[in-house]
Structure 1
């Protein structure tokens, strides 16, 4: 007995004397409980401060599955499913996890729903205060804004690109709790406060964005197109006022949408632009001095290029056209003739100056660089087709930037999508303006603008884009569409891009329809979209017509 008691005494001395600090630390650690104090995510707003993405108070609902009797699980699962809007099988599976004393049932639950649920006779049900992301405007600029996942981090769009600004930094609450999870009275508590995220203000105008989405969605449906895009851009600042896609992503139901809807097509979809690209060929020819607006070309309806015969959009007898008339009528043959005077290297360098083959800056989510092969690798026919927009690929954002450059007197401004953000004190800090680069001379820009006005005139291909009372400059585009899934050309890309007032440009509008089934010409399908969106935008921005008449120019050879 003495021997046994001596063993107990030795063990007691070891525990209370030698190892007391170790056991004391272990006990404190066992009692110590750390809770995350979530930071409030910053809001995303339009240019006037209207909320597009906000953070609202919510609850995380959890349960201790070991406290739910097996016989009651089916009834409890049914109650949880009804209140939380989740499948009953999912709730039953979580209640069956008796290997854990904490099981999260649903996150981001509305406080009213949580309050009602907690009144039900469900054992060991708990709530934790948190936040959830809400999108008051639904699908307005959905693929541009993006969404937030369960871990409260941005997964797409601006939510992803600006996550470090929006997310903030979670805080921490450390306290001592008993076996039942309740705080032990009179014990110390340590709290590290959270740092809330900062707000991000976009350049998007909510009203113009709504109009652009409505118009392109309707035209996409009517034309049977697979998708459509509209971009509205401020000429003087290159700020993107609207960036609409069809179909668009409903942010309040993003989990149910196909992943293809997550893509901001306006910045990410790459396509061959077709005739809207002819302004770059015109710019190269005019800047090099090898062609003037009134230079006359004897134009057939076809032209030999290496081993291929390239044709105009419509058959016609040989005719004499001035260069401005060739641009207005979108003559492929005349464009190739002008490009030959410039040479492949000169055309390639002008395409690069306009931003082809380079990813645009400005923080637009998903922006791609397109495809601009080196001119040394152009095939014999490609040296001709690039002149009218085939064999080179761009995004809608890049093409809108081309016309912003022309409308801005030849000065390219890096496109902007973020107007600014708030600082730590909540004060709004404007974003830096886009980098400016002169691409062509003011004289060349004005000459091209005059040609583009003719393209929207009675003899041009963009007559349906004309807006009564305003001088409009613009260009149609109809290109063969390369289908990556099929590995060949299939269908068409119809587009129109222009600006107004032509004599003092304020806004650029671009519309693109991919793979339409009911018609395929840009002047037929995309020009009316331009007209409707631009008409709404100039009224919304209160941009009056300047009242100046169209300058008298020589359009036809021999006039």
Structure 2
């Protein structure tokens, strides 16, 4: 006979089991809704609330006439969520992305295979048209964001001067680095709530902080003159087998840099492929011994001291002993009777030493300092060097002679150009300027403050040195290849032994020519320097033609006419 169980007992056991289960649920509910509610709410908000950076448009860098040298263009960031892309669609997605973005399919497939990631960047700054074509495919897991990209329409035009930005838009070199905070502006941000598929949840709270656009920077550089200077120096570097070269064009009256070219120049569209040494602005970073271009400072010191006059005669052999060294002129010659003007015009080392002996080391050192040697030129450009000017008390026996003609001191190309700007400007040095001004938040242009002006030598001394430099470009001078038809030109050649760390001593040469025009009413200074040329090495032979081509172009571009005057005769040889 089947006996039925006690229903009361079964019900009691069932109730006890249900109570136990419900107590667990209740405890868990209390934990979720009470004790840990804030933690889970925060996690939910973290998944739901998305903060997106709204990049600010970077300001432009323009030339003096407003032509854009560096600008910001619209771009799109392309990204994928690998977890959203089905395995059987990966190849199709990778093929489309590779085609539209000109990327390798294998690289994209590798990113799509990372199923642990919810975000993989495929392109940081794609062309908007390409992004639009990609989004038209309606690929699941593929998205785009609004971004900007930096563009340099001139390629390598003023490359090392402008510098470049990194992938995050931060200025890394050149003016892009110096004026990064001004150019960059301030990024904004947007906070919204999204669903699992990334769609925005309607009626939810959102916060928007609009970005502030970067300001524009206007340079003193003239795009056309810059292009001509780069072309000429690049061609001459190649023709002479030089290691590097630089050209600087300056406005005599304002100290503004019209062109600053280097060879090789930096292609800003592919700067990462360039060697580190080719990413710097050699016009302000590379130091070298100036050679005979330095003789104008010695001449100015001698004239200012009253020890010599332009007509003072000197008996000049082709060599002279200084301490333990026998120093020579560039070419052998019989003993000559030269005026001091002739010493400068013919670039005689021996004659310059004889003049220096009349003024002393301290006065020469003081004049070098007044012309800016041993201090940075003051442009604020990255890497700007001060060069090397030893204290006169530390000069060796031979240094007391060699410094007079530019061996034993070191300068940059910009420092040398500034010396000739001072002479051309009647003895007043104007601190070189590269930035003409900037735009404000309201878009209005604000000019840079006027450059500092410093009286270095008297107007009379500047005029007398200018006459000597004009004689140096005449038929009997060393710089006759720099002469320009119809214009009066003043300038000086320089050929210096070059110290090179590769040979741990002097090997090779630095060839220089620097001058100004029109000589009687100066408007522009042009400097050309070539380092370690293999085909020829005299400044009058290989640097003077660069000066002539660049100066001719700059005069025509600036619509600077000849003055129509004739130079006063300068006696080169004493007794004539």
User: Normalising by structure 1, what TM-score?
Assistant: 0.97
Partner of 2:263: 246
In structure 1, what is the equivalent of residue 370 of structure 2? 353
SS of the equivalent of 2:327 reads strand
Residues matched between the structures, number: 559
Seen in structure 2, the aligned counterparts of structure 1 residues 30 and 80 have a Cα distance that, compared at 3 Å, is closer
Provide the residue aligned with 2:5 in structure 1.
none
Q: Could you tell me how far apart the structure 2 residues matched to 1:393 and 1:81 are?
A: 53
For 1:128, the equivalent position in structure 2 comes to 145
Superposed, which structure 2 residues align to 1:499-510 within 5 Å? 499-510=516-527
Q: Give the deviation of 1:405 after TM superposition.
A: 0.4
Distance 1:28 1:394, change over 3 A: same
Cα deviation, residue 73, structure 1: 4.3
**Residues 35 and 308 of structure 1: CA distance in aligned 2, closer, same or farther (over 3 Å):** same
Equivalent of 2:233 in 193, 198, 216: 216
Residue number in structure 2 paired with 1:85: 102
Q: Is 1:489 matched up with 2:501? A: no
Give how far 1:378 is off.
Answer: 1.8
The DSSP-based 3-state class of the residue aligned with 2:190 is strand
Aligned-pair CA distance for 1:331: 0.2
Select the residue among 139, 142, 147 that pairs with 2:159.
142
Aligned-residue offset at 1:96: 2.9
Is structure 2 residue 346 aligned with structure 1 residue 333? Answer: no
Cα offsets for 1:137-168 (capped at 9, x unmatched): 11111111111110100111111111011001
1: distance between equivalents of 2:90 and 2:479?
Answer: 67
Which one of 240, 252, 259 corresponds to residue 276 of structure 2? Answer: 259
SS at 1:61 equivalent: strand
> How is 1:178-189 mapped onto 2 (pairs within 5 angstroms)?
178-189=195-206
Aligned pair partner of 2:60 in 28, 37, 43? 43
The one of 416, 423, 432 equivalent to 1:399 is 416
CA distance in structure 2 between the aligned counterparts of 1:396 and 1:101, rounded to whole angstroms: 53
Partner of 1:114: 131
Task: Kindly report which structure 2 residues correspond to 1:296-375, keeping only aligned pairs within 5 A, or say none.
Answer: 296-375=313-392
The superposition leaves residues 18-38 of structure 1 with CA deviations (integer Å, 9 ceiling, x where unpaired) of 554454344323311100000
Offset of residue 71 of structure 1: 5.9
Deviations 1:156-185 (A, max 9, x none): 111111101100110000011112221111
Mapped contact 1:364–1:416 kept (Cα < 8 A): no
Partner of 1:16: 33
Is the 1:362–1:434 Cα contact (8 Å) retained in structure 2? no
Q: Per-residue displacement from partner, 1:183-226 (whole Å, max 9, x unpaired)?
A: 11110110000011000000000111111111111111111111
Distance 1:541 1:262 in 2: 30
Where does the alignment leave 5 or more consecutive residues of structure 1 unmatched?
none
Larger Rg belongs to: 2
Question: In the alignment, does 2:74 pair up with 1:54?
Answer: no
1:234 aligns with 2:272: no
Query: What's 2:188 paired with?
Result: 171
Q: Does 1:443 align with 2:444?
A: no
Per-residue deviation at 1:317? 0.8
The reply to whether residue 550 of structure 1 matches residue 564 of structure 2 is: no
Moved more, 38-47 or 182-191: 182-191
Shift of 1:258: 2.6
**Which is worse superposed, 24-33 or 313-322?**
24-33
| Residue 101 in structure 1 maps to residue 101 in structure 2 | no
* Mapped pair 1:206 → 2:250: no
Contact 2:343–2:572 (CA<8 Å) still a contact in 1? no
Q: Verify the 8 A CA contact 1:168 1:196 in the aligned structure 2.
A: yes
Provide closer, same or farther for how the CA distance between residues 488 and 97 of structure 1 changes in structure 2, counting only shifts above 3 A. Answer: farther
CA distance in 2, matches of 1:477, 1:90: 54
Partner residue, 2:478 = 461
Contact 1:144–1:365 (CA under 8 A) maintained in structure 2 = no
Residue 131 of structure 1 aligns to a residue whose secondary structure is strand
Q: How does 1:471-482 map to 2 (within 5 A)?
A: 471-482=488-499
Distance 2:330 2:314 in 1: 17
| Stretch deviating more after TM superposition (36-45 or 339-348) | 339-348
**SS, match of residue 390 in structure 2:** coil
**Which runs of 5 or more residues in structure 2 are unaligned?**
1-16
Q: 3-state SS of the aligned residue for 2:228? A: helix
Secondary structure of the corresponding residue to residue 438 of structure 2: strand
Aligned mates of 2:116, 2:463 — CA distance in 1: 75
- Which piece of structure 1 moves more, 141-150 or 115-124? 115-124
Once residues 373 and 94 of structure 1 are traced to their aligned partners in structure 2, the CA distance between those partners, rounded to angstroms, is 59
Going from structure 1 to structure 2, the CA distance change for 1:523 and 1:73 (only over 3 Å counts) comes to same
Give SS of 1:139's match. coil
2:293 equivalent to 1:276: yes
Q: What residue number does 1:541 align with?
A: 558
Answer whether contact 2:217 2:438 (CA < 8 A) is retained.
yes
In structure 2, the partner of 1:190 is 207
* RMSD, aligned CA: 1.6
